[in-house]
Amino acid sequence: MTTHDSGTIYDDTDASPGLDPALPGADPYGVAVDDETEGATSFTVSGGDWNDLVDEATALHEERIVVNMGPQHPSTHGVLRLILELDGETVTEARAGIGYLHTGIEKNMEFRTWTQGVTFCTRMDYLTPMFQEAAYCLAIERLLGITDRVPERASIIRVLMMELTRISSHLIALGTGGMEMGATTVMTVGFRERERILRVFEAVTGLRMNNAYIRPGGVAQDVPHGAVDMVRGVISELRHGIGELEKLLVENPLLKGRTVGVGYLDLTGCVALGVTGPVLRSTGLPHDLRKSAPYCGYETYDFDVVTRTGADAYDRLRIRLDEMHQSLRIVEQCLDRLQRTEGQPVMVDDKKIAWPAQLAIGGDGQGNSLDHIREIMGTSMEALIHHFKLVTEGFRVPPGQAYVAVESAKGELGCHAVSDGGTRPYRAHFRDPSFNNLQAVAAMCEGSQVADVIVAVASIDPVMGGVDR
């Protein structure tokens, strides 16, 4: 049985148990027959009538039920699988199963040039692309020893983009978190506001997500004309939208009932589990890498680290709301500096690292800067060779290793980059905050109700693209 002509690459074997209704296990989504272990009974629920299941389970007098929540469950943030052992409504044991979205990004990066790696790592945590790009590029710059030579304007643009990304990530965290508790308006408001930021990204980088905008040595290109004014307009709209979210959330008795005291994890637990970001700050510890180990010139910006002391889901939500206001403060400062540094370079002046052409869209909607094309095609063959070599082969990075951490929206995002002197990363490892923080699910959920698991996971704000990489 083939679905194409001969030579097709889609070969369906006849013995496929999932497709032939005559074979056992006709339900392709159900458990396999031999899945029963130690005499335990498996129940498969795929929508439909839960009462039957409950009756069946009651009839068996089983008090201990293990429930697989996910990996395809709308409220588990993508393909997270939660294995919950239940005693009635109470979760006695909770474990997270991950790996369903593993795409081998780190391995792939070893087979591309250092610059191309940006395109890969931006896809890890797809809600915070700029943070991965920034961490990766900062690591490369440290390996190259050009950290101090990155132009000021490039750092300003990086900070601007990172803070906008932080806001958009927090908006998603609040929006999806609200949706998981049944508040769809929170979701629509959150996504509506995020859309404004994505429009800025599209105007500046050409892409809404997965931007590949921050490059080793600077950024891909300067912000376009009118971008500063555009962002200024967006700031006031965002202020209004975040205010709307605050009105919906902060004093909402339903929300408080669902979140206050839920997903509790104290400072000891956070530090032991290596948890960072809003979860750590909700215990009252003002740990923020932007303050304690500044990069990209964060020490020159005026902002506060938001902390609260409840250590629960509600305080994490409030921290996210307040952090968005702080981010907007930083964005405003960035805009003033961008106006001051108009016309300054956005890429390191080392011609062995920086791509020679600043891409400029021509009349036909694509293309390269005309001056550069005139030069490489008309006057300088060496420039053409140089351009070709730099783009195809890339630059060499001296051997060694570097670990650079940035404060992503979710916590410490670290990049461990190793070079063997070649044009490609020898190893690029990302310490994704969600990956680490998800370990806290057990500590947050055990002993609570099933419904609180959703809230606790939402308060960690994991993104499986980053967790599984």
Partner 1 sequence: MSDDTTDETTGEQTDGKALKSGEGAPVPDKATDSAATRTDDDPRAVSASQHTGGGRVAELSDEDREPVKIGERRGMFGATRGQDTSGYGGLVTPTLLPGASERPYGSYFDEVADLLGTALDGDLYERAVEKVVVDRGEMTLFVHREHLLAVARVLRDDPALRFEMCMGVSGTHYPGEEGRELHAVYPLLSITHGSRRIRLEVTCPEADPHVPSVVEVWPGNDWHEREVWDMFGIVFDGHPALTRILMPDDWPGHPQRKDYPLGGIAVEYKGGVVPPPDERRAYS
Given the rule CB under 8 A, which residues bind partner 1?
A: 7, 9-13, 15-19, 28, 98-99, 102, 104, 106-108, 110-111, 142-143, 145, 271-276, 285, 287, 289, 292-293, 393, 399-403, 405, 412, 414, 416, 418, 420-423, 426-427, 429, 431, 435-436, 438-439, 468-469
The H or E element containing residue 138 is helix 129-144
Q: Compute the least distance from the CB of residue 419 to partner 1, in Å.
A: 9
The H or E element containing residue 451 is helix 450-460
**Nearest-angstrom CA–CA distance, 237 and 165:** 16
Name which of 110 and 152 has its Cβ closer to partner 1.
110
Q: Compute the least distance from the CB of residue 21 to partner 1, in Å.
A: 13
Within 13 Å of residue 88, how many CA atoms lie on the same side as its CB? Answer: 4
Q: Compute the least distance from the CB of residue 96 to partner 1, in Å.
A: 9
Compute φ and ψ for 261, nearest 5 degrees: 75, 5
Name which of 190 and 278 has its Cβ closer to partner 1.
278
DSSP state, residue 222: P
Q: Compute the least distance from the CB of residue 93 to partner 1, in Å.
A: 13
Name which of 30 and 422 has its Cβ closer to partner 1.
422
Q: Can you spell out the DSSP letters for 63-112?
A: -EEEEEE-SS-TTSTTT-EEEEEEETTEEEEEEEE--TT---HHHHHTTS
Number of Cβ within a 10 Å radius of residue 51: 8
Q: Compute the least distance from the CB of residue 238 to partner 1, in Å.
A: 30
Q: Compute the least distance from the CB of residue 111 to partner 1, in Å.
A: 5
Token look-up 């040595």 returns 217
Name which of 75 and 436 has its Cβ closer to partner 1.
436
Name which of 4 and 225 has its Cβ closer to partner 1.
4
Name which of 247 and 352 has its Cβ closer to partner 1.
352
**Nearest-angstrom CA–CA distance, 298 and 225:** 25
**Nearest-angstrom CA–CA distance, 291 and 305:** 8
Name which of 242 and 464 has its Cβ closer to partner 1.
464
Name which of 256 and 427 has its Cβ closer to partner 1.
427
Q: Compute the least distance from the CB of residue 30 to partner 1, in Å.
A: 13
Q: Can you spell out the DSSP letters for 144-168?
A: HT-GGGS-HHHHHHHHHHHHHHHHH
User: Are the C-beta atoms of residues 96 and 189 closer than 8 Å to each other?
Assistant: no
Q: Compute the least distance from the CB of residue 237 to partner 1, in Å.
A: 35
**Nearest-angstrom CA–CA distance, 252 and 48:** 32
State the alpha helices, DSSP H only, in 152-274.
152-180, 184-205, 227-249, 253-259, 267-272
Name which of 358 and 439 has its Cβ closer to partner 1.
439
Name which of 138 and 334 has its Cβ closer to partner 1.
138
Instruction: Indicate the angle between helix axes 129-144 and 114-121, nearest 10 degrees.
Output: 160
Handedness of CA 201, 202, 208, 214 (dihedral sign): negative
Q: Compute the least distance from the CB of residue 319 to partner 1, in Å.
A: 17
**Nearest-angstrom CA–CA distance, 215 and 223:** 14
Q: Compute the least distance from the CB of residue 107 to partner 1, in Å.
A: 5
**Nearest-angstrom CA–CA distance, 226 and 98:** 43
Name which of 182 and 421 has its Cβ closer to partner 1.
421
Q: Compute the least distance from the CB of residue 412 to partner 1, in Å.
A: 6
